[in-house]
């Protein structure tokens, strides 16, 4: 009987219910790293030197196609980049980056990526980019994991297939396919690119994961000021994502930090962004200090395993507010 791979928390056919971040995540990833400039800064840090030395990263293009399964759309974002080779005129390499927003690791990730890779080649064939007699272009698969759990299984497709008791000669029909996993909670150069814009984007996603966006904004406000002076568009996306994430930053705190330390022009634009999001009902307006304190206490009580009714009575917030706090913080 076939054995199950370890850690099957997230079946291939189901989206992780923990993620309530579909809109903010996708809006940020596709808008931010969908720009060739920001994508170049990202890939400079992510790709191995053996690949970078044959690529013209400065000439990369973003393919306007996405391959994630609709059932996984709440917990994934993806981008496909086409990069010319510098050693072979007229030939390209592709880099496929999948942002995994769910907090739990997926033991079948290698299988899902294998399926996506097939879809990429089918897309290239439909676009007339695969010619008869010409070898398929190389596609490099990267997964950026926005969770905190360790991940040692599920990265190699061959390891997911039950080969116990089968003659070794049959193994040649099994694909080895392996994915390059990058965890946002790691402390490595790959998570801290030299390019300031790429670094700010990844570090913000890390802050969202750890729900300390307010601290992140305080620590990075000076670098945001500098980046805004050079290229305002990605900084506006960063500020919007910080607000939309709801991960440890209230509208009131956002305005306070920006007003005290922000560049004058960035301060004005950040205020406009916040007002627009409040008017659209996407984020909440300012909370009183008392309400914010109650929310903080509620989060601690939820972490201790108390029931919503008990928490509601202690912090004097309605049950629906406690349920929303629980959803925002624990999924």
What is the distance between the alpha carbons of residues 262 and 269, in angstroms, rounded to a whole number? 10
| Beta-sheet pairing, 76-84 with 61-63 | antiparallel
Contact 59, 84 (CB under 8 A): yes
What is the distance between the alpha carbons of residues 320 and 308, in angstroms, rounded to a whole number? 9
Q: And the tokens for 151?
A: 């991940």
Contact 213, 204 (CB under 8 A): yes
How many Cα neighbours within 13 Å face the side chain of 33? 27
**Which of 142, 37, 135 lies closest to 88 in space, CA to CA?**
135
Q: Tell me the pTM.
A: 0.76
What is the distance between the alpha carbons of residues 304 and 199, in angstroms, rounded to a whole number? 34
What is the distance between the alpha carbons of residues 237 and 323, in angstroms, rounded to a whole number? 29
What Rg do the C-alpha atoms of the chain give, in angstroms?
22
How many Cα neighbours within 13 Å face the side chain of 110? 20
Tens digits of pLDDT across the chain (331 residues) = 444 444 444 433 333 333 344 567 888 898 899 999 999 999 999 999 999 999 999 999 999 889 987 777 667 899 999 999 999 998 999 999 999 887 777 888 899 999 999 999 999 999 988 888 889 999 999 999 877 666 777 789 999 999 999 999 999 999 989 999 888 877 777 888 888 888 899 999 988 888 888 899 999 999 999 998 888 889 989 998 888 887 778 888 888 888 888 888 888 888 887 787 766 665 655 554 556 677 788 888 888 888 888 888 787 777 777 887 887 766 5
Residue burial 277-303, b: 16+ Cβ < 10 Å; e: rest = beeeeebeebeeeebeebbeebbebbe
């Amino acid at each position: 009987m076939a054995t199950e791979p370890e850690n099957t928390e997230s079946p291939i056919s189901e989206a992780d219910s923990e993620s309530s971040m579909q809109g903010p995540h996708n809006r940020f990833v596709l808008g931010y790293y969908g720009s060739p400039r920001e994508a170049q800064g990202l890939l400079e840090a992510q790709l191995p030197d053996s690949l970078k030395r044959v690529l013209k990263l400065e000439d990369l293009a973003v393919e306007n196609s996405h391959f994630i399964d609709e059932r996984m759309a709440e917990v994934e974002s993806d981008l496909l980049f086409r990069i010319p080779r510098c050693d072979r005129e007229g030939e390209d390499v592709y880099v496929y980056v999948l942002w995994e927003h769910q907090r739990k690791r997926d033991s079948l990730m290698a299988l899902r990526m294998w399926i996506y890779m097939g879809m990429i080649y089918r897309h290239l064939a439909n676009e007339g980019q695969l010619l008869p007699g010409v070898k398929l272009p190389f596609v490099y698969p990267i997964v950026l994991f926005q969770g905190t759990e360790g991940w040692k299984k599920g990265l190699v497709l061959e390891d997911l297939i039950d080969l116990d008791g089968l003659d070794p000669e049959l193994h040649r029909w099994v694909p080895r396919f392996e994915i390059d996993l990058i965890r946002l909670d790691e402390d490595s150069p790959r998570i801290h690119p030299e390019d300031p814009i790429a670094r700010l984007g990844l570090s913000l996603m890390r802050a969202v994961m750890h729900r300390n966006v307010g601290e992140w904004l305080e620590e990075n406000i000076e670098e945001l000021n500098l980046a805004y002076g050079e290229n305002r568009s990605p900084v506006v996306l960063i500020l919007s994502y910080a607000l939309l994430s709801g991960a440890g930053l209230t509208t009131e705190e956002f305005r306070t930090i920006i007003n005290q330390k922000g560049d004058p022009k960035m301060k004005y634009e950040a205020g406009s962004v916040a007002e627009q999001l409040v008017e659209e009902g996407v984020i909440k307006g300012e909370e009183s200090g008392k309400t914010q304190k109650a929310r903080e206490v509620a989060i601690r009580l939820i972490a201790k395993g108390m029931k919503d009714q008990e928490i509601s009575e202690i912090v004097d917030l309605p049950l629906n507010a406690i349920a929303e706090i629980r959803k925002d913080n624990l999924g």
